Structure 1
Amino acid sequence: MVLGVSGGIAAYKACELLRRLTESGHDVTVVPTAAALEFVGAPTWAGLSGKPVSTSVWDDVHQVPHVRIGQSADLVVVAPATADLLAKAAHGLADDLLTNTLLTARCPVVFAPAMHTEMWEHPATQANVDTLRSRGALVIEPAEGRLTGKDTGKGRLPEPAEIYDVCVDVLASGATGRGLDLAGRHVVVSAGGTREYLDPVRFLGNRSSGLQGYALARTAQARGAEVTLVAANVALPDPAGVKVVRVETTAELHSEMVAAAAGADAVVMAAAPADFRPTGVSAAKIKKADDGSSPSIELVQNADILHELAHHRSRPDSVVVGFAAETGDDSGSVRELAAAKLARKGCDLLVVNDVSGGAVFGSPDNEAVILASDGTATDVPRGSKTAVAHAIWDQVVRRFGA
């Protein structure tokens, strides 16, 4: 693996990315630009990677490093990627070792941009990003937050842990032949569980952690998609390059999903919205009664978000995916109940989880059955939620092809 580092203040974050890559067993060659060494010195990169570091094509010329490094790489990730570096890569310039490496690499290439908001939004930078994406490179959307000095806005380097996850997913996708099969697609994913407030401190909720929805967002980004993630009460770091919209209640989730789904290629409802909400919310905390009696709470049914997304699509060719957390009962087995739900909701795919005994919620692993509207079923064996997410996107991509 090659870690390219260009000259931005966020270069210090690449040290953490390098540590994660090497500790997970990857053989990493760091190729900084001369400007990057103004922020983090060569001894740091050499010490963390265990390899000598150079910026020049004139070092070790007999080994032809300007060609060999790119040719031998399984993945090249540039973090941070400055506006200058993106411009050089888009126009095929090769004035140092990193830009030469980018020209000779025939493996997946990931750019993690970091710059001020005005630089990122400039038409020249956006044109360069479009060019790189059109050639098959994965350019992660920068995060929003604190920039250099007192500035805040879009342009912040995503957290190293999130960039690492993207790199791992890109390698996995390349190994399976998926590549960037979602490039040019806009997908919308929901995650987490909604809350319906009884009073200022109490709410009705559920145990959804959002882990599966976040895995779906992250893997879609790694496969090249533009991703919008609508997160309901999730305490997880934002996936790199993903637009995150935060909500609390089912009404908020409904509003944001309908808005985000307009024009989307695929919509995945992985969130667990509350089926009911109180008819009224107490303005003050509900107190215990001295006589030991309990308050009476009247509930009303919430809107069926998945049913609406499936039956009122702004694009008839979009793919809608739902989730069903089932336990089975006297009326039928988990799969029987899920099949009836698939028909009732009208979605194209339904991911069925058996949650008997509280399984799935909060666990890093999952197993599922993906039921399709054409009557087929795909069993997904127990594995990481990332693996399950890829299996779901595989089914979505097949429907795009159809």
Structure 2
Amino acid sequence: MIQQHAPRGVYIHIPFCTNKCHYCDFNSFVLKGQPVDDYLDALEREMAATSLLLPPERIDTVFVGGGTPTVLTPEQMTRFLASVHRHFPLAEGAEFSVEANPGTTDPDKLRAMREGGVNRISFGVQSFDNALLERIGRIHDVDDVYRSIDNARAAGFDNLSIDLMFGLPGQTVATLQDSVARALALDLPHYSLYGLKVEENTLFHRMYERNELPLPEEEEELEMYLYIIDQLKAAGRSQYEISNFAKPGFESRHNTIYWRNEPYYGLGAGAHGYARRHRHVNIKGVQPYIDATLRGLPRLESSDVSETEAMEDFMMVGLRLLEGVSNAAFARQFPGRTIDGQFGDILMRLRDDGLLELSGDRYRLTEQGVLLGNEVFGAFITVHED
């Protein structure tokens, strides 16, 4: 049986940013010269068409990502947020997140965001080392971080998160320790951490190919990861997902939709969506996306997801959560199926290897499994015969 309820989460992509970071392979474009207002018109057309095709019943989370959504002017932000409310009925207490770059959130913009219903901001800080920020192509400095957090708090935002990166070129354990101390001194309710991945079609990949990217050794990168985990836990932020830490009640509700393999709307250039066992990817280019919305839904690819693939996805994303996956949740998505019945041999092998443990009706990563997560997730990928 395919999931019947409409998605309760909405992802919206704003693909513009002030510059392209050296490690970034996201669908983003430098703002200068872009038809931003035409893009917002196109987004509204896609919202209208989407809500007709799959009418929303109740929206619990909205996440606006990019790019850097906060490059919108206050007027554009006001207009954009109003269009979201027109097409998606937000439940009382819904989580409404916007990604931001430090230095792009002046008081006027924050006021527009607050008045438009935004109640959570995720700042892409990455590091508190100015030389390192410049090396990775970020346009902000540490002073911008402090100013942005102060402005957000003054505007009434208390649900704030920052991203930190480790394994960056030229980064040492000592410089990382300083960044972690500064990050924790801000006393925020949520922190995300990411190891650098050198992705194709990035400046860092070209540098890596030319042997010009001085990355830390694997052992040093692991030391960084373990250090951040220890410090965040000691500061009262629970690790609820491999890369995410929060005070109780401040976990990212929107991202948890992904990790529980639940449906979500995906709107904007290059956005992904998943509903009724059907996945889509939108056209990526800004003008091609705009043009496509004049003809209908701006799809690049659409595909049905077989039950076998959906069950594998459930395990791969669900085990990212430290609470793990339960047979009860599995049965809700796949009536008549059990985790053990579907994956018994894989589960036994992962338990024998010390990577998974069973607690009640939940399978979850062990401490060693957290460190070797990709090995665990990869075990659930099979040839689809459904």
TM-score if structure 1 supplies the norm length? 0.30
Greater Rg over alpha carbons, structure:
1
TM-score if structure 2 supplies the norm length? 0.31
Question: Which has more helix, going by share of residues?
Answer: 2
Greater relative contact order, per chain length (Cα 8 Å cut-off, separation 6+): 2
